[in-house]
Amino acid sequence: MNALIKKSLCTMLAAMTALPLFYVPVSSKVSAANDAVINVTAPKQVIRGFGGMTHSGWIGDLTASERETAFGNGPNQLGFSVLRIPIDENRNNWLREVETAKKAIEHGAIVFASPWNPPTDMTELVTLGTTSGGGSTYEAESLTTLTGAVAGSSFTGYTGSGYVSFQNASGSAVQWNTILIGSTGTKNIKIRYSLPSGTSNLDVYVNGTLALSNIPFEATGSGNTWKDKSIQVPMVNGTSTLKLVTTGTGGPNIDNINVTAYTQITQAKRLKYDKYEAYAQYLNEFDTFMKNNGVNLYAISVQNEPDYAHDWTWWSPEEMLRFMKENAGSINNRVIAPESFSYVKNMSDPILNDPQALANMDILGAHTYGTQYSDFPYPLFEQKGAGKELWMTEVYYPNSETNSADRWPEALGVAEHMYNAMVEGNFQTYVWWYIRRNYGPIKEDGTISKRGYSMAHYSKFVRPGDVRVDATKNPANGVYVSAYKGANNKIVIVAINKNTSSVNQRFTVQNGTASAVSSWVTDSTRNLAAGSALQMSGNGFSADLPAQSVTTFVVQP
């Protein structure tokens, strides 16, 4: 993100992701309807760690004391185990990120780096069109009118229940009848299709009027190989129709269309097409520089937020795919891509769908500004990302308002956001934006904020290499539970109670042993305070979760 501006759009969207912070129970204390069952033999993802970013060029470096607060794991320390640093476009500025990175590594953290811009001699200014958000997807085989076309499912790789095949060289059509448009203007229509060979041309009609003629669709290589074709058409507020019609050359198989807003940006910066390999070597130079100065980077990103680059360098999905296929393989470290600002899947889908690009990506990185919890799961990554890691590499939540870091229960939302990233998103890291900021985990006076303590319920106890295990996610209204298995079969349970009254919750360890349990709680008046002793009963325990609180339990085998 930018050092000077807030992402107002993303802040608005982020508000949509949060469930209401308040519940109104009947009594002052309730008992949970269900046990929270922790199944230690049902592993999920390996956790790499939790942390944040420093950017010395924009807000100055952390002080020596703040480094200890961030990466130490003693009293009044956060236990962060991930640091993100920028790759400055000016090589003369690289040294200023070294000291904090060295201290983080000294404490056992991993460090990765993201660039905002290539060196100026590698970039050019262009006018480009860009889409915003994930848009709305409409399947071709559902709620459409077919003329000389049929729904099919013999090919693989489609979404929904199938796709549509045109039967005639001319005059065959598929029409979507209920495309909802929120505002009048140019829209981007991304058409997902497959075509074994040749080129087919289609006409495009909007609300019965010809909008585009003879749009070419190039061969994808087989009916099982799907690609995207983007077009731009004007559409008006309300419900619209869109029709694709064959014009004499037959047509591709149509899987779905995705409709998003489309704008043109003048003076947009992009990497010159003949500088891709030089850029890869520039990233290698940074990696070597850091190594020579005592910092062994864990990974390097291709670009920070390529799809929200109003103040840095834009990359289209096609440009990112080309770089990943042709150039990323020459980077001498693990490669992170694409770091979309809002986990927009059209930035990463092409990489996952291309074997060569996928082979050159080690970590799928994403930011979750404005990403709704329902969009945290990524089925395509689960399908094709074997051997790859999935990282959440930047966010602040729920806002960046001045001096908001200690607001409660607003800061409890950070713990819930982390829960969703781990449980619904299966992310392996959770990385905050600025570590020190008046809305961050460390405030400008160097002390830990309420948002920081919410993060510490994960970062201090769930350590790199621990594995998330299956747990009853929502055992009671307003209660959210995640669990992790660590060294020596230790179990860490993080439980969030968003209710305005306490909840008595039973926790049961399944397929494992539990002999003792300790707890720490943060609520409106306490910050990671040690809880009272809890009695084991059978292979579990019961605990009161205070109103609007987050509690971490450490269960010894």
* Residues classed as catalytic: 305, 394
- Cβ 246 vs Cβ 168: under 8 Å: yes
Give the number of other Cβ atoms within 10 Å of residue 75's Cβ. Answer: 6
Strands 516-522 and 529-530: antiparallel
**How many residues does this entry show for the chain?**
557
Which parts of 77-223 are beta strand (E)? 82-87, 110-115, 123-139, 144-147, 149-152, 163-166, 170-181, 185-194, 199-206, 209-218
- Cβ 496 vs Cβ 424: under 8 Å: no
> Distance between CA 40 and CA 513 in Å, rounded?
9
- Cβ 441 vs Cβ 396: under 8 Å: no
528 is written with which tokens? 């990671």
> Distance between CA 275 and CA 280 in Å, rounded?
9
- Secondary structure class of 368 (helix, strand, coil): strand
Amino acid occupying residue 331: I
Rounded-to-10 torsion of CA 150, 153, 157, 163:
20
- β-bridge mates for residue 340, sequence order: 366
Amino acid occupying residue 347: M
